[in-house]
Amino acid sequence: MAQRGPHASPPAACASSLWAARGQALLSAPCPAHTETRPPQMALYFCSGVLQDQAQFRHYALNVPLYTHFTSPIRRFADVLVHRLLAAALGYREQPEVEPHALQKQADHCNDRRMASKRVQELSASLFFAVLVRESGPLESEAMVMGVLNQAFDVLVLRYGVQKRIYCNALALRSYHFQKVGKKPELTLLWEPEDPEQEPARQVITVFSLVEVVLQAEAAVLKYSAILKQPGPEGSLALEVEDEEQEQESHGALED
C-alpha cells in the first residue's frame, strides 16, 4: 500500500520561486501561495502490484519518488494495511493471502472515504462562513480573477480565502462582451452609469485581474453570493490621496 500524487512538473522549481519571493508584496495576499501550493488533485492510495508505471508512484506535493504513511493505524485503515505488509516483510508474521487486485479494491475504498471526509470538511467550512456573512455581512474584500467564462468569471476572495463565481447578468451592466485575445479569455464590462449624463464605466476582466467584491447573504438559507463593485470614475483615487496629503500638510502647518 503506497500513496501517490499526480505526475507533473517537479514542484522544486515552484517551491524555490515561492521561497525567493518571500516577503514581497505579491505574497502578502494568499492567492499566489494558494494557487501554487494546491495540488491538481489529492494523493491516492494504490497497490504497487497493480500500477505498472513507476513514474506514477511519485508524490507531487512532497516531491519524493516513493511514499507511504503508516503512523496512525488507530484512525486510518490504510495504515493498518501497511502495518500488516511491513510486518510480513520483516518476518514478524506470515505473508497476507491477499491478491493485488483485492488490495487495490481496499485502496479504492480508502480513497472514497478520504474524498468524502474532505468534501464534508469543505462543505462544513462553507456552511459556517455563510453564517458569518449572514450575521456580519455584507463583507467587502479585494479579489483576484481565477477564471473567465463567456458570461461569468471566478474570483478568489483574498481576505477570506473563498472562491465564488460572479455572473454578468447579476450586475448593473449596460452590456458585456466576451472575446479571446490570443489564447487569453477576456470579458469587457460596460457599467450602467448612476447619472444618465455620465459615460458608462468600462472594465476589462482577465485572469489575475484584481477587483473589489462584496459578499452578501441570499434569501435562501445559508447561501451567499459575490457581487462585483462598480469601479469609480478614473482619477478618483488620485484625488482622494491628494486631498489626504493636503490635509496632512495643513495639520502640520497648524502645529508649527
Q: Checking phi first, is residue 222 left (phi over 0); if not, alpha (psi -120 to 50) or beta? A: left
What's the rounded Cα separation, in Å, for the pair 210 and 32?
Answer: 13
pLDDT averages per 10-residue partition of the chain, 256 residues: 50 56 49 52 85 84 84 88 91 89 93 93 93 93 93 94 93 93 92 85 92 92 91 47 47 48
Q: ∠129-130-134 over CA atoms, to 5°?
A: 115
Domains of the chain (ranges, CATH numbers):
2-132 (no CATH), 144-238 (2.40.50.140)
What's the rounded Cα separation, in Å, for the pair 225 and 64?
Answer: 40
pLDDT tens digits, residue range 171-217? 999 999 999 998 899 999 999 988 888 888 899 999 999 999 999 99
